[in-house]
Structure 1
Amino acid sequence: MRAPLPPLVSVQAFEAAARHESFAAAAEELHVSPATISQRVRSLETHLGVPLFERLPRTVRLTELGRAYLPAVRESLDDLAVATTGLFGPARREQLTVRTQVSYAATWLAPHVGDFQDRHPEIDLRVVCAVWSEALDPGDVDVDIHQGRGPWAGVHSEVLHQDHALAIRGPGDRPVESVADLAARHRVQVLGFDDLWPRLLPADAPRPSRALTVDTSLAALEIVAAGDACAVIPERFARTAVRAGRVALALDGAWPARQAHYLLRPHSEPRPSPQARAFLAWLAELDERVPSL
């Protein structure tokens, strides 16, 4: 007759805590609280009748019996994982749904998102925007990125990116010699950014010879790249196109925009999921890694 076995969750908590030398890090990995890890480890110690860890102020250290027990635990968990995968297939991948505007998805995420997928192959990323995003239940969205002037009623909002604006022209256009010269060029205006041109140009600036209004910065960017118009769009959206030579800077420098990118969360969900935290950490690193123009 087999001796009574300890609960599997307690064994998993012990192995993770031993590997990280931390109840907090084990809790992060197993998606539970540090208090739960502590409780499960103590339950295992009670079952075995011996202490497995020394509790230190900021870490934990295996006792001599804990070190002796760990190799057998790891081997057993590895064997169980191999058998489970062999019979039932790999564990279900985690899905992360990011809702954002089409311009952010196309100009900022698209050129770099492969790096996130390489770093987190266990996460299936889904990016939704425009008409599809409104059909999603709030509970189906893990990361909700919104550009505008916050805060918004009914949700918790925090600034994700402070935005700047800059003026762009077609790569084949003659250089812009002055602000007055820019004012007279064919102009593309983006809905929702109605303040950008007036803040750039003096009140007595001449009217453009031709003006076009579009609803996304992405549309403005493509029109400028294909023709002889100028546009003012968020600097973040122009970085890849300027560096690739698809558009050129009409004026040197950028200036703060009144709009910013915000991370929105329901008040009922104050903390992002582990997958969402991984994505947000990657976005923060991307900001550091990809310099502004």
Structure 2
Amino acid sequence: MQAFEAAARLGSFAAAAAELHLSPAAVSQRIRSLEAHLGVPLFERLARSVELTELGRAYLPSVRESLDDLAAATGGLFAPARREQLTVRTQVSYATTWLAPHLHRFQAEHPEIDLRLVCAVWSEALTPGEVDLDIHQGRGAWPGVHAQLLHHDDAVVVHGPGHLVRWGPIRDATDLAVRPRIQVLGFDDVWQRVLPSAPTSGPAGQATTVDTTIAALELVIAGDATAAVPERFARTAVRAGRVSVALAQSFPMRQAHYLLRPLEEPTPTARARAFLLWLARLDDDMPALPRVAEGDVG
């Protein structure tokens, strides 16, 4: 299995032999034994390299996953503690508002993993294969990658204490139409669903556009405007009392969060799967915000 995985990754029996400290003949013999056992060819032998057959490509992800799990189990039982690094790339708002407040839990569960969070702005500095998990927000249609849905989110409207001091209680969305509001670039359509189409009693409120949810929340906290933001990103700020939910209802968003993976990339590593399992449990530990009852807003 090791010889097969190394030859598949390196594209050469000789290179696999050098990595495994074996002779090329020994690697070739091990792979021929595996092929004989399975009853199918796994490689096409070329003049200076090898290429996986269709069955070989299908078999490789399972072999890599099994070797990762075996290495993790062996290291956990018999080897001294060895630290591994997990690189997660995502947008800054997801990293700051959703992951950062809870990462201490993951680190307590997995002290052997050093986590590196990289925001999309640094993508150019990363070499291919350096990212273990790539989490993006969008509509799920990225060319050349497989997109696995992680979270579906709705938006909520939030305000800080300064809003009520300046404008008074919020009875319904009609009140918001004439008050200052903040919209996040890319989520502009949310305010179209929030604000009523009926005429208001005054001129439309001033709109400020920012490019991150972090900026929207900080402006709400410091000023007198409201903002429509993904509910997930508002949970920590609401529960900390920094902002309040302004309306009883939430509003659907066209964007969701996806785990992106190149089409030819094998399944996630053992450390990446551990992070994904923790991420799935995070919604149970930090459930969605309860909606305020009608008449209780503001």
The equivalent of 1:244 in structure 2 is: 240
- CA-based RMSD of the aligned residues comes to 2.2
Q: Distance in 1 between matches of 2:98 and 2:157?
A: 17
**1:150 aligned onto 2:190:** no
Q: Aligned match of 1:111 in 74, 88, 101?
A: 101
Deviation at 1:171, TM superposition (A): 2.3
Residue type matched to 1:264 in 2? L
Instruction: Identify if the C-alpha distance between structure 1 residues 95 and 200 changes in structure 2 by more than 3 Å, giving closer, same or farther.
Output: same
Matched with 2:163 is 173
Tell me, in whole angstroms, the C-alpha distance in 2 between the residues paired with 1:136 and 1:163. 29
Q: 1:161 aligned to 2:155?
A: no
Paired with 1:274 and 1:268, the residues of 2 have a C-alpha distance of: 18
Q: Could you tell me how far 1:182 is from its partner in structure 2?
A: 1.0
- Code of the aligned partner of 2:195: L
Distance 2:128 2:199 in 1: 45
Aligned-partner Cα distance in 1 for 2:133–2:272? 6
Whole-Å separation in 1 of the counterparts to 2:241 and 2:248: 16
Cα 1:130–1:152 change in 2 (3 A) is closer
Match of 2:217 in 1: 221
> How many Å apart are 1:265 and its aligned residue?
0.4
Matched, 1:194 2:207: no
Supply the AA of the counterpart residue of 2:259. Answer: L
Secondary structure in 2 aligned to 1:153? coil
After TM superposition, give the deviation of residue 136 of structure 1 in Å: 1.6
Answering whether residue 257 of structure 2 is matched by residue 267 of structure 1, we say no
Answer yes or no: is 1:29 the counterpart of 2:69.
Answer: yes
- What SS is found at the alignment partner of 2:152? strand
* Distance in 1 of aligned mates of 2:66 and 2:135: 29
- The one-letter amino acid of 1:208's match is A
Shift of 1:205: 5.1
> TM-score when scaled to structure 2?
0.68
Give, in whole Å, the separation in 1 of the partners of 2:199 and 2:148.
36
Structure 2 counterpart of 1:285, which letter?
Answer: R
Distance in structure 2 (CA, Å) of the matches to 1:256 and 1:135: 35
Instruction: Give the equivalent residue in structure 1 for 2:253.
Output: 257
Q: Which amino acid aligns with 1:261?
A: H
Q: Distance in 1 between matches of 2:70 and 2:148?
A: 27
Q: Distance in 2 between matches of 1:26 and 1:263?
A: 22
- The offset of 1:27, in angstroms, is 5.6
> What TM-score do you get using the length of structure 1 for normalisation?
0.69
Gaps of 5+ in 2: 1-64, 290-298
| Percent of matched pairs sharing the same residue | 62
Contact 1:187–1:208 (CA under 8 A) maintained in structure 2: no
Higher alpha-carbon Rg: 1
Regions of 4+ moved over 6 Å: none
- Of 92, 111, 118, the match for 1:121: 111
Give the secondary structure class of the aligned counterpart of 1:177.
Answer: coil
| Alpha carbons 1:31, 1:274 under 8 Å: kept | no
Q: Does 1:141 align with 2:150?
A: no
Q: 5+ unaligned residues in a row in structure 1: which ranges? A: 1-24, 38-76
Number of aligned positions between the proteins: 216
- SS of match in other structure, 2:142: coil
